[in-house]
Amino acid sequence: MTSRRGLLLTPSVKNDHIEQMAPLPLQLLAIFVTLLLPMTAGAATFRVATYNILNFPDALGYQRIDDLRAAVGFIDPDILVVQEMQSQAGINLFLDSVMHTISPSFSSVPFNDGPDTDNALFFRNDRMDIVGIQYLTTPNRNIAEYRLMLSDTRSELYLFSIHLKASEGSSNEIMRLQEATILRDRLNLLPPGTNFIVAGDFNIYYSDEPAFQKLIDSVQNTSGKLIDPLALLGYWHENVSFADAHTQSTRTNQLPDGGASGGMDDRFDMILCSEGIMSSGGLFLISNSHTILGNDGAHFNLAINDGINNAVPAEIADALYWASDHLPLYVDLSDESGPVIDRPEVRVWPNPMQRIAEITLPWHEGFISARVCMTNILGQRVFEDIIYESEGFTLQRGDLPVGVYFLHVFIKTEYDEHKYRTTVAVVR
C-alpha cells in the first residue's frame, strides 16, 4: 500500500510471537526517552559500549545471534568493543547479523589473531573514522588500542579493549598485574590531555587487587591514570553490597555454550576513563550515563531473567541470559570541542505513543520516496510501507503490542539515498 500525508497507517501484525511481547513497565519510559532525544543540546553525543560475547562464534554463536541482536540493538551504540572474538568469520557474522540490523553504517576493523581469544571493534563510519590501530603484547592476551576521530569535531579518542587473565589465586593476580603494567606504561606515554577509555573484561575481584591499583595509581604519573566512573572501592566478588555493579554471570546453570554459571556475583566488566573524559569540557562522559544493561541490583546470585527484571523488558532479560554469561556496559560521551554539524533526523511525536504518532521526515532536495520499515527488538519486521510525501505521515498503532520498536527510514532522492533509524516506544 502506498501512503499520503495524513493517511493513518496501521502496522500489520501477523506473527504469533509478536503478540507474546511483554508489556512495557512504566519505570522504563525514561530509558526510552533517553534513547529518543538528544542528550546534550548543541553538542555531539555518542555511546560507547563493551561486551564479552562468549567465544564467538564457536560457542553456539549462530544459535545466539537473535539474542545478541536484541541486546546490542537495545543499547544502540555508536562504538562497540567486544571480547572473546575468535575469527574474521566471527567478525563478519557479527557485523552482518547484529550491527547492520542496527545501522548499515557500521564498520569493523580486521581481525587480529593473537593468543587465545581476541578483541573486535564496530563503529559507525558516518560519525567517526579509524586513524590508528595497534596491539599491546602481554604474557596472556593482546590488548587492542583503537584510535578514533569524530567526524563532526575532529576530536580524537583512544579506546582500549582488554581481557585480563581469569580466575582467583596469586598466580593469576600476578599475571593480571603484568598485563595492567603493560597497559599503564602505554597510557603514560600518551600526551597530557589525551582522551582515552579502557573497556572490557578485567577479571578483577576487588579494588585493592594490584592490577586495579596499577591502573588507577596517580603517584608516579597522573596523565596515564584511569578513573572508575562508579568510584567503587571494596571486595566486589560475591558481595551483595555491590550487586548493582556485577556483570557476571547471567546464568545460574551451565548452558551448552560453555559460559560461566553461578548467577550475578562478579564485577568483571568495567569502563575506566582518563581524567579528561571525566571532566566537564571538551570530550567528556555524560553524568550518570554509565549503565550495566539488565542489572537492576536485585539479582544477586540469580540469573538475570529470574522473576521480574526492573531494568529492562522481560524479552531483553531473556536475551541477555542466552546471549552471553556477561552483561554489556555502556557510557554516553559528549563532545563540545568544536563546531557541530546539525544532523537531520526522523522525529516521532508523541514518543512514547499510545494510539497515534506523527512522523516527520528530514528535508532532502529532490525527494522521490521513503521506504518505512518497523522492527521489534528481535529484528523481526512488523510493518513496512512506501511514503511519497516528503514531510512525513501519521502512524496509527492498530493492533501493535506494547513494546519497543525500531523505525527504519530509507529516503530516495534524485541524487542519492539517505538512511535513518530511531526508536519508538508503544505504551498503553
| DSSP SS3 for 425 | strand
Residue 377 lies in a domain: yes
Residue 250 lies in a domain: yes
Is residue 416 classed exposed, middle or buried when 0-12, 13-18 and 19+ CB atoms within 10 A define those classes? exposed
Q: Is 313 within 8 Å of 404 (Cβ atoms)?
A: yes
Quote the CA–CA distance of 119 and 71 in Å, as a whole number: 19
Same domain for 276 and 188, yes or no, is yes
Same domain for 307 and 366, yes or no, is no
Residue 265 lies in a domain: yes
Same domain for 76 and 113, yes or no, is yes
| CB atoms near residue 343 (< 10 Å) | 12
Quote the CA–CA distance of 244 and 238 in Å, as a whole number: 12
| CB atoms near residue 284 (< 10 Å) | 20
Residues 6 or more apart whose CB falls under 8 angstroms from that of 185 comprise none
CA nearest to 395, candidates 383, 413, 379, 412 = 383
Same domain for 317 and 176, yes or no, is yes
Residue 74 lies in a domain: yes
Quote the CA–CA distance of 226 and 325 in Å, as a whole number: 26
CA nearest to 225, candidates 191, 184, 194 = 184
Q: What is the pTM of this model?
A: 0.74
Among residues 277, 302, 335, which one ends one of the domains?
335
Same domain for 302 and 356, yes or no, is no
CATH value at residue 148: 3.60.10.10
CATH value at residue 348: 2.60.40.10
Task: Give alpha helix (H) positions in 259-401.
Answer: 314-323
Same domain for 314 and 356, yes or no, is no
Structure letter (DSSP) for residue 267: -
Among residues 335, 370, 394, which one ends one of the domains?
335
Quote the CA–CA distance of 407 and 387 in Å, as a whole number: 14
Q: What is the model's pLDDT at position 10?
A: 44
Quote the CA–CA distance of 91 and 62 in Å, as a whole number: 12
Structure letter (DSSP) for residue 208: T
Residues in the chain: 428
Among residues 313, 335, 357, which one ends one of the domains?
335
Quote the CA–CA distance of 117 and 141 in Å, as a whole number: 7
Residue 31 lies in a domain: no
Residue 25 lies in a domain: no
Cα distances (Å, whole numbers) of residue 46 to 28, 77, 281, 293, 327: 21, 7, 15, 17, 20
Residue 147 lies in a domain: yes
Q: What is the model's pLDDT at position 280?
A: 67
The DSSP H or E segment spanning 195 is: none
Same domain for 316 and 405, yes or no, is no
Domain that holds residue 166: 43-335
Between the CA atoms of 246, 247, 250 and 255, what dihedral angle is there, to the nearest 10 degrees? -130
Same domain for 199 and 164, yes or no, is yes
Same domain for 373 and 354, yes or no, is yes
Quote the CA–CA distance of 361 and 348 in Å, as a whole number: 9
Residue 266 lies in a domain: yes
Full pLDDT tens readout for the chain, 428 residues: 333 333 345 443 333 333 333 444 444 444 444 444 444 344 578 999 999 999 999 999 999 999 999 999 999 999 999 999 999 999 999 999 999 999 999 999 999 999 999 999 999 999 999 999 999 999 999 999 999 999 888 899 999 999 999 999 999 999 999 999 999 999 999 998 899 999 999 999 999 999 999 999 877 677 899 999 999 999 999 999 999 999 999 999 999 999 999 999 999 999 999 998 988 667 899 888 999 999 999 999 999 999 999 999 999 999 999 999 999 999 999 887 655 445 568 888 888 888 899 999 988 888 999 989 888 876 677 888 888 998 899 988 888 888 888 888 888 888 877 878 888 888 87
Number of domains in the chain: 2
The DSSP H or E segment spanning 283 is: strand 283-285
Same domain for 201 and 158, yes or no, is yes
* Residues 33-66: b if buried by 16+ CB within 10 A, e if exposed: eebbeeeeeebbbbbbbbbbbbbbbebbbeebbb
- Alpha carbon 260 to chain centroid, angstroms: 22
Same domain for 246 and 392, yes or no, is no
Same domain for 251 and 194, yes or no, is yes
